[in-house]
Structures are given as C-alpha cells and as structure tokens.
Structure 1
Amino acid sequence: MDIEGQLTTHSIGQFVRSVWYERGLEYGNPYFNERFRVNAPETSLTPAWMYRSEARENGMMLIRIEEDLALIEAVELYAEIWGGHPGTVDKRLTINGRSTYPLPEVGTAAGHCTYSYPSIPFKLTDIVNGYNAIQFACDMGTGFWGHYIVDNAALDMVLKRGHPDLEAARLADFTATVAWEHLSDQAEAVNLALVCPDAYHDKISHVDFVGYYSGYDENGNGTGCDWHGFTKNRAPAAHIGTAAHPPFSTSWDTTMLTAQNDIAVRAVVHFRDVPDLVYKTPASIGWKIPQRKRNLVTYHLAANQPQPFWSRDGNLRECTVILDDAPDDIEQAELHVLIWDGGAGTTKKPLTLNGHDLPVASSGAHDVLYRKITIQPRQLQGGMNTISLLSDTEHHGIEILLPGPCLVLRRCKEQ
C-alpha cells in the first residue's frame, strides 16, 4: 500500500476531544492498587499472588462523557499499556457489554517485554452519553502470572464541524496545515511551521509536530515505518517538537534518519480556552530525505535478544549487534533503546556496550524510558558488538522492551 493509502484516516483536519480515565470514587473508579492492573482469572486463586493488592483489581474502568452523540463523527480508545508479564495472551477489552476488541499483540505473548500505545476504533453504537464501562481482560498463556497495566486511557471523539462547542470557542472556521522547508544553512535540518490565519494565534496555546517516516520503533507497535512518538503520563514524547509561540514552528534534525521517500508530517494544535480539544491537521505528504552525497545512515537492530530481556538477581543477559565493517569511517553513532525501569539495584553499570557504560536507568519508578545514547565510534568494532544487561534486584530490575537495542550509524562514503 502506498503512503496515500496508509494515511487515509489523516487526510482531513479533525477536531478531537479527549476524555481521560480518572481514578477515585468521585469518578466511579475505586481501586486497591496504585496502578490500573488487569489479571488473568487464575490470579484470584494462585497462592503466590491472590493476597496481593494487584490481585484485587478487576480490570474495569468507567469514563464519563457528556456529549450529544449525534454530533460525533468517530470515537476510539487510546491507551498507554505496559504489556505485562511475558507470556500473557489474548489481551482484550469489552465496551459497555456491547462489543469486544482485541488489543494489538506486540510481542508479549511470545515472551518479550513490551510497552505500546494502541488506538482502538469503536463503533458509535458502542458508547453512551454518560458512564462508559470498559472491561479489560487477558489470559495466562505461557507466563507465570497473566497480568498487564493500563497506565492511562482516554476516549477520543472526533467532533462534527457543526458542533456547538466549536461555535462557542469561535473555532468553527478554523483550519490549519503544516509547511515544510529545508533550512539553507543546515543541510539536514527541516523547518516545520503551522499555517493558519493570524487571527487564531492568540487562541493557540501550543502545537505538537509529529512525523510519519522510517526509523526506530520507539512506540513499540511492531513497525518502524509509521507515525512516530507516544505519550507518557498523557504528555507527548519522542515527537518532532513543540512550538509554544507564534509563528509556531520547529526545526527537525534528520541527520540520523535514513534516506527515504514518503515522509509525512502533521500538527496537533492545542487551544488556551478549551484544553480538552485539539485540532489535528491533515497529513502533509510527499516529503523525502534524499540520498546523501558523502554520508550513509544505517540501522542495526540487536540480534539474539533474550526472551524475556530482563535481569534479576545478578543474572547476566546479552545480545549482539553485528557490524560487517570496521568503524573507521563512522562519523556519528547512537544507540536507541526502550527500557522498563525497575531499578538497577547496586549494579554500577547495568547496561554496557562492549564493556562501556550505557546510562539508561533513572529512579526505578517502574516506568518506560526511551533513551538515545551517543556512542563513540572507538567503542565499536567490526563483527560482534555485545550489549550486556545486569541487575541484582530481587524482583523487577531493568527490562529491555521491544524492539530492543538498535545502533544507528552515520558513515562517510568512499569518494
């Protein structure tokens, strides 16, 4: 399928209202554990888990919307999901007892550590103007405890153009696009700018720019050629950039991206007076990164990754990146990696490349971290390059999430 086919759902501008799941009795969502947890049925009677607070969670959330459903064009559930214990299978949800939808399988069932950000389109007849009950579930599979976490979830509703809230906010006629321009003084920097009438500038709080291109799969959905970026605690991360002041533009450094065609960009426009509403511009398509005259950028994903790729109690785990050539012509190198940070314990260098420290861990807050680490070319070698993970924590330590470590190299071509 060409890029026009892949981007059909982004071909027009849309106003989207997000209503997030909130915890607490005042929202109809009591809880026993500090995070929203989903368990396989066996958990309730497994002695090792049944008395823990996690096992008391029922996987049900209520999201209340106050909306005239006749004025809604489309609706979907967006979520930030820790894939759970490796081997957990058949992650799914049911909305208001009406329809059941599978959550995309991104590697957990095969024994990998994962984190993903699915968008699940619902039928309009699935939702109600009121409390929407979303029941998450899973099965145990081959793991020791069928279990995953939904860190955040929202119902995203596309508003029809005649929606009275757009009239009230004086946005009924608002449209915008994204312009792309190469910066002449920086050959591989691109300027992205929001194009909209100046009269709307005061209404805009900030603009997030996102890109469709081939790169590292930092959002863990199983493909590196798609819309990049994700949210963490509901805020955008790993996107191209954010502009908070007119003329709402940002510079995109494409130095470490491969030469490619069919790049697209779009903007998510946030408004001062209606913070729950955004405008998503149409995808601006047809852009490319041309072949460089003197440089070549390549991606090298680690091979033979352990399943699961985690270290506990001092158990060393390793994978390798094979480079066909010596690193003599490497001008710039990065290592991209996603981790679930359960803490390194007392280990001084939990993640290393050929024995060199890779600083990845943070506070051990059991959250997802995306790291881009500068690598000195002298730390690499032709042939096998070994990435080692070591943690002495008893339970969750550092977990390497799919797609795993990836070396990105910028080499000088022979003239």
Structure 2
Amino acid sequence: MTRSSCLCACLAALLSSAAAIPEYDAAPDRQTRGRFWRFHWYRQGIEHGNPGQEMRFRINAPEASLHPTFGRRPEARENGMMLIKAEEDLSRLLAAELYAELWGGHPGTANKRVTINGRSTYALPPVGTEEGHCTYSYPAVPLKLTDLVCGFNALQFALDQGTAFWGHALIDNAAVRAALPDTHPDLAKLGLNRFTASVVAVPASEGAGYELRLECDAGAVPLIACVEYAGWYRGYDENGNRLGEDWHGFTKHRAAHAHLGTAVAAPFRLRWDASMLPAQTDAAVRAIVRFAADPELVFATIPARNLAITHPDGVQVLIAAPRDLPDRFWSRAGQRKSCSFELDIDPARVTRAELHCVAWTGGAGAVEEYFTLNGMLFPIAEGSRHEVEYSRLAVDPRLLRRGRNPVDLLSDTEHHGIEILLPGPALIIRCR
C-alpha cells in the first residue's frame, strides 16, 4: 500500500468512527437507527451537592467580584460550579452530551465555556450574545467519556466580560445525557432490550401536513408513557441557534415546547399542520418515546425523511424578518426600541398571517401596550417572571401594509425590562 493510500484509508476510518458516535440532534440523514438516551439533570440544593445564594444558576465574569455596584449583589456570589450526578457504567455508554437551557446573558458577554471534572474545557456555541444581541439557546455539547466519572460530575462554567457592562449569564436547566446500547442491562430490567419503534407519516387528506403515528410491537405499548413528535424543517428559529432549518422546538423547565406535539394514548396519533410553513421537499419527523418506568429514559426513533410540504397552485408561505433589527433589543426605564418589516406584497393577497417572537419577560412596568405592530398590541412578554417566552400569535391581514410595518418595544420598569431575543420577531404570511 502506498503512503497516500494508507493516509486515505486512515482518514476514512477516522471519519467512519466519528460518524458512528451518536448525536441526539444529528441531521436526519445521519440518524440511521433508533437510540436510547438517558438524562441526568442538574438538581439544585445542598442535598444534591449544589449550594447557592440564588434560586437560579448564574455565571459571572471575573470583573464582577470587584465591581463597586454589581459585586455587592447576591448574583455575584455565584461561582459557576455545578454538580450533576450520573450513576453510569461509563464503559457501557456509546456517547454523552451536555445539554442546557441557557439565557445568554447581558449583551456583549463572551466566550462561554465549561470545564468537566477539571479535565477538558468545551466552548458553548456562540449564538449572538457576544455580538451585542439578547439570546436564549439550548447548547448540546458532545463530551469525551473519559472526562466523566460515575457519580458526581463537576461542571465549572465560566465566561468573559466582553463588551458587556456586566459579564453575566444563567442556566435554567442542564443535563448530561448518555446514549445507551440496546444491550444495556438497565434496558433488560425494564423489558426494553428488544424495544424498537418507528414513525409513520401519511400526507394529510386536506391541507399541508401529515398524520403521524408510532409503529411498535403491541406488547410494548403498555410501557410507553407518551410520544413527543419533533420536526426538521425550514421555519422560524424559535430555539435561537441561528438555524432556520434544523430540529425545531426546545425544552422549558425540562419539558418539550414548540415541538409538533405530544400523544399520550396508543396508537399515539398526531396531526402535523404545516399550512404556515414555506414549501419544501426535505422535511423530517422523529418520535421521542418516553417510558412510564423511567421518565428520564427516552427512545429517539429513526426520522421519517424526505417529507414534502406543498401548497395549492398560486399559494405561497413567506417568512419576513425585520431589515433593521437592533442589537440590544431590550427596553427598560422608558427606552424605546424599534424595528420594522418591509413587505413587498399587496395585503389583499394575504389570507392568513402570524407573528412569531421569543422574548425574556423582565416586566413592562406601567406600560400596557408594550409591544406593538402597526400600533396594535401583541402580548409576547406577559408578566415579570424573568423567563423565556415563545409566542405565535394570529395577525389580522387587514393590519398589514405594503411597505413599512413598524414594531415598537417599550418598558418603563427600573428593573430588568423586556428583551426581544434572537432571531427577533418574524411575520409568517400565507398569500395567494
């Protein structure tokens, strides 16, 4: 064998080995078999090894410790250390990942990262905070199994000040999720060692979309608690990873949100209404099967691929984004922030419209009409619970105008205020 052919063979072997490592959110064409995953969630409280000054897990830049104002706040006492207990025989695992629900922090905060058990340091994917935007994301970071231990795993999070006035972020939830082989003894104990399932997607008899159901052995049905359906398609980026085409949806308080839906009874049917998605030919659907005996164990099916989303002749669905989206799209203390949609379409052609927006609910203060489109209130950030909120609201087509359609955000609270998170608001318009 020549040296070049030997190098090619080695490279092919490495690529093949890398491709064989399971990834929970891999693209549909890279998921060639169903897979069991087990989640080990971060749990707050000294009884779980996680004392804290705050109710939420916070990460601070080093500068916060000596800051004359922020350094005296209780948030600055948080050290970014998290323990996650994962009782796993690491030699039996196929892969492991870190997953988190992450408020990106004050705009300008940079270089978010985590060190696992003092071994390897991993960058958390940048999604726009370091560029000066407000963000919320759900990073999934592949971990080396040699970085983990069977027991309490120490995750030291850190970040840099960047251009922020206070380098700061918080994690609402985090988990180490592990890919299990079908031969794992824990599956046998639960009667799942022979379990398999697949998604059946049949085009809907009326309208764009699919009738979904789970196909599995009848004997396995009593073991199933529910089935969550997730879609891969081109649409609004509600999970903030700056990808319009990917697996849509996210978790909030560890539960699935903004997914296609959840079915709780056999045969676990669900209607996927795709009437407000652009036409496309390569959508996909997978099922996340949850089990009654272990709520932290799931089975992710092989995706049903190459699904077409079509509309009648003369009908199209468009996604309009603001052309002048501001950075630091954040209002407090009476500071108004604005952007606008430029629509090159006759509103008379619009048969249906929706406003999509992801916001951080830090409070509008005394302002009632805090977020408006063409002067009309759209309640996208109700309350002041300081949490992420995804809104999908109907828009009367008669409200829209050809040309400029202004959006205004205003909060007069002296506290945190309202953030419009990336990707910013969007209009999804169905027209003829």
The worse-fitting range, judged by mean Cα deviation, of 8-17 and 311-320 is 8-17
2:19 aligned with 1:20: no
- Retained in 1: the 8 A contact 2:358–2:425? yes
- Retained in 2: the 8 A contact 1:271–1:278? yes
Match of 2:183 in 1: 162
Match of 1:396 in 2: 416
Q: Which residue type is aligned with residue 359 of structure 1?
A: P
Q: What CA distance in whole angstroms lies between the structure 2 residues aligned with 1:250 and 1:42? A: 50
- Retained in 1: the 8 A contact 2:37–2:297? yes
2:138 aligned with 1:120: no
2:66 aligned with 1:42: no
Please give the secondary structure, in 1, of the residue aligned with 2:332. coil
Q: Which residue type is aligned with residue 87 of structure 2?
A: E
Match of 1:213 in 2: 233
Please give the secondary structure, in 2, of the residue aligned with 1:200. helix
Q: What CA distance in whole angstroms lies between the structure 1 residues aligned with 2:31 and 2:76? A: 40
2:218 aligned with 1:198: yes
Q: What CA distance in whole angstroms lies between the structure 2 residues aligned with 1:173 and 1:353? A: 53
Match of 1:142 in 2: 163
Q: What CA distance in whole angstroms lies between the structure 2 residues aligned with 1:180 and 1:149? A: 38
Where do residues 188-267 of structure 1 align in structure 2 (5 Å cutoff)?
188-267=208-287
Match of 2:386 in 1: 366
Please give the secondary structure, in 2, of the residue aligned with 1:50. helix
- Retained in 2: the 8 A contact 1:259–1:292? no
RMSD: 1.0
1:198 is displaced (CA, Å) by 1.0
- Retained in 2: the 8 A contact 1:44–1:55? yes
2:314 aligned with 1:290: no
- Retained in 1: the 8 A contact 2:208–2:311? no
Where do residues 64-79 of structure 1 align in structure 2 (5 Å cutoff)?
64-79=85-100
Query: Gaps (5+ residues) in structure 2?
Result: 1-25
Instruction: Please give the TM-score of this superposition, normalised by the length of structure 1.
Output: 0.97
Please give the secondary structure, in 2, of the residue aligned with 1:409. strand
2:305 aligned with 1:315: no
Q: What CA distance in whole angstroms lies between the structure 1 residues aligned with 2:30 and 2:167? A: 34
Query: Deviation digits for residues 199-242 of structure 1, max 9, x if unmatched?
Result: 11111010000010000000000011000000000000000010
- Retained in 1: the 8 A contact 2:28–2:305? no
1:363 is displaced (CA, Å) by 2.0
Match of 2:150 in 1: 129
Instruction: Please give the TM-score of this superposition, normalised by the length of structure 2.
Output: 0.93
Please give the secondary structure, in 1, of the residue aligned with 2:187. helix
1:183 is displaced (CA, Å) by 2.3
The structure where helix makes up a greater share of residues is 2
- Retained in 2: the 8 A contact 1:213–1:264? yes
- Retained in 2: the 8 A contact 1:343–1:397? yes
Q: Which residue type is aligned with residue 95 of structure 1?
A: I
2:400 aligned with 1:380: yes
Structure 1 moving runs of 4+ over 4 Å:
none
Identity score, percent: 51
Q: Which residue type is aligned with residue 193 of structure 1?
A: R
C-alpha distance 52-123 of structure 1, shift in aligned 2 (>3 A): same
Q: What CA distance in whole angstroms lies between the structure 1 residues aligned with 2:375 and 2:71? A: 41
Match of 1:331 in 2: 351
Match of 2:299 in 1: 279
Q: Which residue type is aligned with residue 166 of structure 1?
A: L
Query: Deviation digits for residues 308-329 of structure 1, max 9, x if unmatched?
Result: 0011111111101000122111
1:8 is displaced (CA, Å) by 4.8
Q: Which residue type is aligned with residue 395 of structure 2?
A: I
Please give the secondary structure, in 1, of the residue aligned with 2:283. strand
C-alpha distance 99-9 of structure 1, shift in aligned 2 (>3 A): farther
1:361 is displaced (CA, Å) by 2.3
Please give the secondary structure, in 2, of the residue aligned with 1:187. coil
Query: Deviation digits for residues 230-268 of structure 1, max 9, x if unmatched?
Result: 000000000001000011110010010000011111000
Query: Deviation digits for residues 353-403 of structure 1, max 9, x if unmatched?
Result: 110111112221000000011111111100000000011011211110000
